[in-house]
Structure 1
Amino acid sequence: MASAEEPIPLSALQHAVYCLRQAALIHLERVWAENRFTAEGDVLHAVADKGGSRKARGVRRVLALPLVCHRLNLTGTADLVEFLPGPEGETAFPVEYKRGKPKLHRADEVQLCAQALCLEEMTGRPVPQGALFYAETRRRVTVPFDAELRALTESTALDLAAMLVSRRTPPPTSLRSRCRACSLLELCRPDAVLRPVRQWRDRMLARALE
């Protein structure tokens, strides 16, 4: 099981926004399962994980850059960070590779924003925006790190830290559509966990109507 003193992986924030129970199963109980979506993600990250640095048109591009934020106890690796030249020095621009296409929830944006918080602490310079590159659309989506996204990212990090300290996996709150895309569906079994709760609720309702 994870220790409360261990740094929180940046990827855990993405998991937590998607589903806090999923984050607990992966990072607290060390449960994992592959499906088509996770396999496609592994292939997409294979090139970035090799690391390396090069410069083109004045932009320094660093692959697989290790990141850390001591303030929020976060650690991880950025797929790509572009360091853009400016009059006051370089400005970091993180780029995260993702399979599929842009999503309705903000899980990917939170993971990217957490990278920005790390880069700000490490470089001492503001990181105003970054980008998500989606394999299905082959396009970058620019993500501004505004106050709302920063607040969501920090609150997610605090929720994760509290969960790790408690060492308790939260129960599922509902059976949602995103459960079908989760590689942990068979291990999580949200319907089996929720069924007794629904049956008890139905019994109480029936008694109240008698």
Structure 2
Amino acid sequence: MEYREEDFLMLSGIQHFAFCRRQWALIHIEQQWQENEYTVAGELLHKNAHDPYFNEKRKDVIVSRSMPVFSRTMGVSGECDIVEFRKSDDGISIHGHRGLYDVYPIEYKKGSPKDTEIDILQLTAQAMCLEEMLSTHIQVGAVFYGETRRRQIVVFSEELKEQVSSSFAEMHEMYDRRYTPKVRWSKSCNACSLKDICLPKLGKTPSVKGYIHKTITEDCG
């Protein structure tokens, strides 16, 4: 099965979906968004990595920034922060350059490596798009973290790729139904940029009346 271009979802949405399905639906279905210190800092880091008109060559490595990618089989499109094409004995050819090259995607993130696979899944999705577009196999990539100034190497296993494919399939199903999941509060809600829109604590009270009463009581106390 292949998706039409007009039905493509945002590739970067997989990080929202993996973090919280409700967050993804609020952003990508209901078009809700709210900045916080984390999203602003992340945008500044990406701005430094992105220059769609700038490619450079460092010895045997060609660096492409803000490279557009897509997958018709997954129905997604987006951009890779950086893709390194590394000269090798067994790779793909690149127009205007001699030799063969391996493909090495790099995603830029604020902060330090996370306990979850959110960033890894986004990078894996980018690699899968590149594999489909370039008819190649990509074994590894990296996530660069602004806080540690280091790259975390990611091996693209079949398990990761299956998780990415199943996530996008579920995202398409939810998008077609225009379905937004109900609130399920967790500690991660505190760092969410949409907490004032989502009102996660509302899901822990029996009614709106109870929520209002609790809020007034806290303010007066």
What's the TM-score once normalised by structure 1's chain length?
0.89
Give the match's secondary structure for 2:141: strand
Mapping 1:1-210, distance limit 5 Å: 5-51=6-52, 52-88=54-90, 89-173=100-184, 175-196=185-206
Give the match's secondary structure for 2:190: helix
1:151 partner amino acid: E
Offset at 1:70? 0.6
Query: 1:36 and 1:57 mapped to 2: Cα distance?
Result: 38
Query: 1:172 and 1:127 mapped to 2: Cα distance?
Result: 37
User: Gapped runs of 5+ residues in structure 2?
Assistant: 91-99, 208-221
Aligned residues: 193
Cα displacement string for residues 3-39 of structure 1 (whole angstroms, at most 9, x for unaligned residues): x953111110011000010000000000000000001
Query: 1:55 and 1:5 mapped to 2: Cα distance?
Result: 35
Cα displacement string for residues 121-160 of structure 1 (whole angstroms, at most 9, x for unaligned residues): 1110001111000001110000000111111111111111
Query: 1:73 and 1:91 mapped to 2: Cα distance?
Result: 25
What's the TM-score once normalised by structure 2's chain length?
0.84
| Runs of 4+ that moved beyond 3 A | none
Q: What's the Cα RMSD here? A: 1.4
Give the match's secondary structure for 2:88: coil
2:103 partner amino acid: A
